[in-house]
Amino acid sequence: MTTETSAAADFREFKMPDVGEGLTEAEILKWYVTPGETVTDGQVVCEVETAKAAVELPIPYDGVVHELRFEEGTTVDVGAAIITVQVAGAIAPQEAPARSGGDESAPEGAANGTEPAAPARTPVLVGYGVAESSTKRRPRRGAGGVPGQPVPAPPVAAEPVSAAEPEPVPEPVSGERPLAKPPVRKLAKDLGVDLASVLPSGPGGIITREDVHAAAAPAPGQQAPASPGVTAPQPEPAAPTGTPAGQAAAPTAEPAVAAGARETRTPIKGVRKATAAAMVGSAFTAPHVTEFVTVDVTRTVKLVEELKADRDMAGLRVNPLLLIARALIVAIRRNPGINASWDEANQEIVRKHYVNLGIAAATPRGLIVPNIKDAQDKTLPQLAESLADLVATAREGRTSPGAMQGGTVTITNVGVFGIDSGTPILNPGEAAILAVGAIKPQPWVHKGKVKPRQVTTLALSFDHRLVDGELGSKVLADVAAILEQPRRLITWA
């Protein structure tokens, strides 16, 4: 497209952001705008899928959509222009190099020679945060900045930025748009919360999920009813809203099948492609060992019912998965060697002094493993809230790439599918993964008599390069002992 300019308007190209972390392309899933439509700074214009997750991209300036460069379903390289927008009253892109020494990302104040050019913002996808370079967080509007001139601010690690174009002239305070990521905006909309009335607690004045939850009263009836006869952890974090517990969500959208066709071919891309590569790498790099234990969890099931009635847990989702997660955290505290990774390059075992607890989720786009950061420091209510947020975000298909990075140990809940056990493959970079089977009534010898008890089978896979049989057995035995006698959550903690 030939760039057109005039005294009043020019055209800006919005390029596919640099996704980082080894990703070089993304597929355009859906356009939310059409040519001729007016857009504003921060408005989501499209949804793209990387090998990590589906992500919404906001436009960084005001204007009118001129052209959509690619159709939905097209895989686009990072750096390719995907949309052009006619921007009123802005400096034309080709004029910027002559005025600012070749920096197209320089703010207007620098372009006319009144101030030195500020460093360009590094483009990243929503959820990745700002790169560690010279990226600057834009000032809060009305915070003392002079219109047309940038106000320096310290870098903010968690701020989502999606383009390297200059910021528009700050609007008056009365027109200020609350700062929040797209998933947080959707959460506020679902809960009926006005973001303008929410007090932000995030860095740089950004509104977090916790801020939205604090502004909204707990929604009645949030807790899902237990499935008849089955008390396994539910629902599966990846199950779409409305999917009954115990039923699997479709791993991918089924393609249309022509009449009489004997085969159907589906391109391997996105999350499915990344998962396949990661699982092959893990299976053929780390020597897996899997151990099993069958345990009576009747007391844990009873404790779950008691916690549901506890006022301190009101409004929170309480299920066996919550106590299983807590049991694994306690077992790791007693056996810290399991919480480690293998550094092949440096030939070192790296022990982690924090637990980023991953929860495997089978979403419609494929398997993802988001994790709860610093799970070891969370109280039971905090852990319950984190699990609920993880479930809700996975259901919406809005799990950010950052939420899937840095995990140290994982839980996979195959019990929701009615499966008793399995031999899970390690999440790459982790030393252990715990599979939880279905919890169901079984005949069990209890106090010398055969009685129906709630029983489940646990399976622990671990990397035998850094976890020997003794350590792996102790961890699995500790988890089982806690679930059999949940008071150990207190005495062992």
Return d(Cα 409, Cα 120) in angstroms, integer: 37
Under DSSP, the state recorded for 41 is T
Exposure string of 52-87, with b = 16+ CB inside 10 Å and e = fewer, is: bbbbbbbbbbbbbbbebbbeeeeebebeeebbbbbb
Please report the DSSP string for 102-115 in residue order.
S-TT--HHHHTTSS
Task: Quote the CA–CA distance of 279 and 429 in Å, as a whole number.
Answer: 11
Euclidean distance between CA atoms 413 and 427, whole angstroms: 14
Closest CA to 181 of 163, 161, 164, 165: 161
Instruction: State how far the Cα of 437 lies from the Cα of 418, in Å rounded to an integer.
Output: 8
Alpha carbon of residue 427 to chain centroid = 15
Our answer to whether residue 288 is catalytic in this structure is no
**Which run of H or E residues covers position 445?**
strand 440-446
Active-site residue, selected from the candidate residues 66, 213, 288, 464: 464
- Give the span between the Cα atoms of 211 and 200, in whole angstroms: 6
User: Could you give the CA distance from residue 76 to residue 165 in angstroms, rounded to a whole number?
Assistant: 20
Provide the annotated active-site residues. Answer: 464
